[in-house]
Amino acid sequence: GAVVSQHPSWVICKSGTSVKIECRSLDFQATTMFWYRQFPKQSLMLMATSNEGSKATYEQGVEKDKFLINHASLTLSTLTVTSAHPEDSSFYICSASSTGWDYNEQFFGPGTRLTVL
Amino acid sequence: GQNIDQPTEMTATEGAIVQINCTYQTSGFNGLFWYQQHAGEAPTFLSYNVLDGLEEKGRFSSFLSRSKGYSYLLLKELQMKDSASYLCAPMDSNYQLIWGAGTKLIIKP
């Protein structure tokens, strides 16, 4: 299957700082990338969908000024959590998909665990 | 609205067979995915069904009935490493995956 990487795997930061998470497709061109957040024992929550070269589409209730998404190339998308607060502590997961695949399946990165003190 | 219904937790014995059921309601339908998620890790793709019937892939099989809004994942010859959450995720008319909380499967020796 396709490989998606995320960096960093985990990060601890102070309240009020900004954190950038990178998501890369390693062996394919990702026309669409998705950013999810998952709290313990809860389902994946889609935050936003981004297509290369265009602005991300945010889900209802997700603040676009707080969660900045950039999909600058077909292999890289970044999520920046600005002015992070303890309630932003969560498991952030990206996934990638490519047009032309038979199934429209999404392949997931390993996730980034964010802890805001 | 859109929703997924799966059992919260199931327990099975190593070497046995277990069936995880899923019923769903979505706005449009473009297939249904099953993912496996180990604790603290991201989901990994298991199977995809878009037509009615059974898809078999090794120890795992997945079944779909579109008219009933129903799917199941069948796991055979259970191994301890199969202990994980199993996520049923139908894709709606916008090609968005709809996620539930998944079924936590506990395998006992």
Q: pLDDT (tens digit, 9 = 90+) per residue, A52-68?
A: 878 899 999 999 999 99
| Interchain proximity A41–B45, CB inside 8 Å | no
Chain B CB within 8 Å of residue A100 CB: no
> Which residues of chain B lie closer than 8 angstroms to A58, CB-CB?
none
Asked if the model's pLDDT at residue B40 lies above 70, the reply is yes
Q: Which residues between 42 and 71 in chain B have a beta carbon less than 8 angstroms from any beta carbon of chain A?
A: 42-45, 48, 50
What's the whole-number mean pLDDT along residues B52-61?
Answer: 95
pLDDT at position A51 is 86
B64-to-A79, A110, B53, B70 alpha-carbon distances in Å = 35, 28, 5, 6
Predicted local confidence at residue A106, as pLDDT: 87
| Nearest one of A67, A12, A17 to A37, comparing CA atoms | A67
With a pLDDT cut of 90, the percent of chain B lying above it is 87
Q: From A93, which residue of chain B is nearest by alpha-carbon distance?
A: B42
Query: Is pLDDT of B85 > 70?
Result: yes
pLDDT at A1: 66
3-class DSSP state of A88: helix
d(CA A40, nearest CA chain B) in Å: 9
DSSP B91: B
Regions of chain A where pLDDT drops below 70: 1, 102-103
For residues B72 and B89, what is the distance between their CA atoms, to the nearest angstrom? 11
